[in-house]
Amino acid sequence: MRIESRLAQIGSVSEPVTGAVSYPIYNATAFRHPRLGQSTGFDYSRTKNPTRAVLEEAIAELEAGDAGFAFSTGMAALQTIFSLFRSGDHLIVSLDLYGGTYRLLERIMGKFGVTASYVDTNDLEALERCRTESTRAVLIETPTNPLMMVTDLAAVSAWARSRGLLTIVDNTLLTPFFQRPLELGADIVVHSATKYLGGHNDVLAGLVVTKGKELSEEMAFLHNSIGSVLGPNDSWLLMRGMKTLALRMERHQENATRIAQYLEGHPLVAEVFYPGLESHPAYSIQRKQASGNTGIFSFKVTDARLVEPILRHIRLIAFAESLGGVESLMTYPAVQTHADIPEAIRRQVGVDDRLLRFSVGIEHADDLIADLEQALVAAEEETKGAGSRG
């Protein structure tokens, strides 16, 4: 079946006793054993829960992997992946990186002797220069958050495999509906499922999919041992959200493309970062490895003084963190999502005081453009007024 049908049917044929189309929520933490030495397959809910198991099987199948694992948050998923490594190990990581991932690597994993180098992962020569005898993996965001840098996954995965390294890909922004990194050679895929997979700003979750028997068994051990698993109620909410993923991603992409094109021609906007635009430097790579584009992009205004009044004047669009929900959200990365990244590093990659990130929802594009237009007009008038008074 095509992915749209597989998404809509998540859990619908998994309950054999009653035939429930919506898979039940099993809140039980313990399960009876038929007799000594026998198990139903469920013993203790941290290890395996029926509701979570259906979700995990679904994401593994959608990502074309061998095993799926559901976590309490995306950061918990990353922490468990990083537990594959030990003191002295080195990771190569995407240069433009979500601030929470940077914080986890530098302020927590660094305490345990795991180090990281941050590079443009689309530059194979830079990857080779960073590689040491201690390097164990490459962690890639593509597209990156917030500057939408794109990595050629097939090329980097082949490079990593030839050197005995794992390739870990954060697929949060595209989801398996538009991009499947394991099919391009990656070993592990991770999602902040809070975002597009859940899609409604109402559930915290992380998902991991692995390829290969040995790696899947090691991840299962860590998942159970660390125990940051997703509860059954949130597992059910996430499955419900995923059923409409195809419809939502198509609308997110359609809206984001229209609005990015509108902003690209706006006199108050200096630059738009969106891989769905032909002006994006990796537009051809994106088209080669993904069947569509995300609903998030970033843009730089011409004057940093415009930022505050824009955020104050938007009405339909909410000034709020997070992304991937049906509601449109705008955020200011320099002081919010990327505040934990040192200013010098932020500025080096382009996350400066003129950058705004826009998670485009599924509202009507014309209404979103109208909201942006009135906010930009109001911001320009205020900035001119402040300048004349000065």
DSSP, residue by residue, 254-306 = HHHHHHHHHHHT-TTEEEEE-TTSTTSTTHHHHHHH-SS--SEEEEEES-GGG
Collect all residues with Cβ–Cβ distance below 8 Å to 26 and sequence separation of at least 6. Answer: 45, 49, 50, 51, 232
Report yes or no: 383 and 317 within 8 Å, Cβ to Cβ: no
State whether 157 and 275 are in the same domain.
no
- Mean pLDDT for 172-196 is 98
State whether 303 and 237 are in the same domain.
no
Reduce the DSSP state of residue 207 to 3 states and report it. Answer: strand
State whether 192 and 265 are in the same domain.
no
Q: Is 274 a catalytic residue?
A: no
DSSP state letters, 351-366: --TTEEEEE--SS-HH
Specify the residue for token string 């006199």: 267
Q: What is the pLDDT of residue 24?
A: 96
From 98, 196, 274, 332, the catalytic residue: 98
CA gap 232, 53 in Å, rounded: 9
State whether 282 and 298 are in the same domain.
yes
Three-class HEC string of 5-42: HHHHCCCCCCCCCCCCCCCCCCCCCECCCCCCCCCCCC
Q: Is 195 a catalytic residue?
A: yes
CA gap 2, 237 in Å, rounded: 23
CA gap 122, 150 in Å, rounded: 7
Q: Is 46 a catalytic residue?
A: yes
CATH number of the domain bearing residue 147: 3.40.640.10
State whether 23 and 160 are in the same domain.
yes
DSSP 112: G
State whether 284 and 238 are in the same domain.
no
State whether 217 and 167 are in the same domain.
yes
Residue length of the chain: 390
CA gap 44, 134 in Å, rounded: 37
Identify the bridge partners of residue 318 per DSSP, sorted by sequence position.
329
- Mean pLDDT for 148-169 is 98
Say yes or no to pLDDT of 10 above 60. Answer: yes
Say yes or no to pLDDT of 390 above 60. Answer: no
From 89, 96, 152, 170, the catalytic residue: 170
Q: pLDDT per residue over 312-363, tens digit each?
A: 999 999 999 999 999 999 999 988 766 667 777 777 777 899 999 999 999 9
State whether 213 and 269 are in the same domain.
no
Q: What is the pLDDT of residue 153?
A: 98
Q: What is the pLDDT of residue 379?
A: 97
Say yes or no to pLDDT of 287 above 70. Answer: yes
Extract the runs of DSSP E, i.e. beta strands, from 128-280.
Answer: 135-141, 166-170, 188-192, 206-210, 269-273
Query: Domain boundary residue among 211, 242, 273?
Result: 242
State whether 128 and 104 are in the same domain.
yes
Report the mean per-residue pLDDT for the chain. 95
Percentage, residues of the chain above pLDDT 70: 98
Q: What is the pLDDT of residue 341?
A: 72
Q: What is the pLDDT of residue 345?
A: 73
Cis peptide before 143 (omega within 30 of 0): yes
Query: Domain boundary residue among 202, 221, 242?
Result: 242
Query: Domain boundary residue among 183, 209, 242?
Result: 242
Q: pLDDT per residue over 248-284, tens digit each?
A: 999 999 999 999 999 999 999 999 999 999 999 999 9
CA gap 120, 113 in Å, rounded: 23
What's the domain count of the chain? 2
Say yes or no to pLDDT of 78 above 80. Answer: yes
Q: Which helix (H) or strand (E) holds 318?
A: strand 318-319
State whether 209 and 274 are in the same domain.
no
Cis peptide before 146 (omega within 30 of 0): yes
CA gap 309, 286 in Å, rounded: 34
Q: pLDDT per residue over 36-47, tens digit each?
A: 999 999 999 999
Q: What is the residue range of 152's domain?
A: 3-242
Q: How confident is the model at residue 384 (pLDDT cuts 50, 70, 90)?
A: confident
- Token readout for 13 is 């044929």
Q: How confident is the model at residue 387 (pLDDT cuts 50, 70, 90)?
A: low
From 195, 211, 300, 354, the catalytic residue: 195
- Token readout for 39 is 């198990």
CA gap 53, 25 in Å, rounded: 11
What's the maximum distance between 2 C-alpha atoms anywhere in the chain? Answer: 84
Q: What is the pTM of this model?
A: 0.95
CA gap 264, 273 in Å, rounded: 9
State whether 216 and 359 are in the same domain.
no
Q: Encode burial over 109-148: b for 16+ CB neighbours within 10 A, e otherwise.
A: beeeebbbbbbbbbeeeebeebbeeebbbbbbbbbbbbbb
CATH number of the domain bearing residue 351: 3.90.1150.10
Angle between helices 245-264 and 365-389 (to 10 degrees): 40
Of 15 and 290, more confident: 290
State whether 82 and 15 are in the same domain.
yes
Q: What is the pLDDT of residue 389?
A: 55
From 6, 46, 161, 287, the catalytic residue: 46
Closest CA to 27 of 208, 222, 200, 236: 236
Q: What is the pLDDT of residue 385?
A: 75
Q: Is 96 a catalytic residue?
A: no
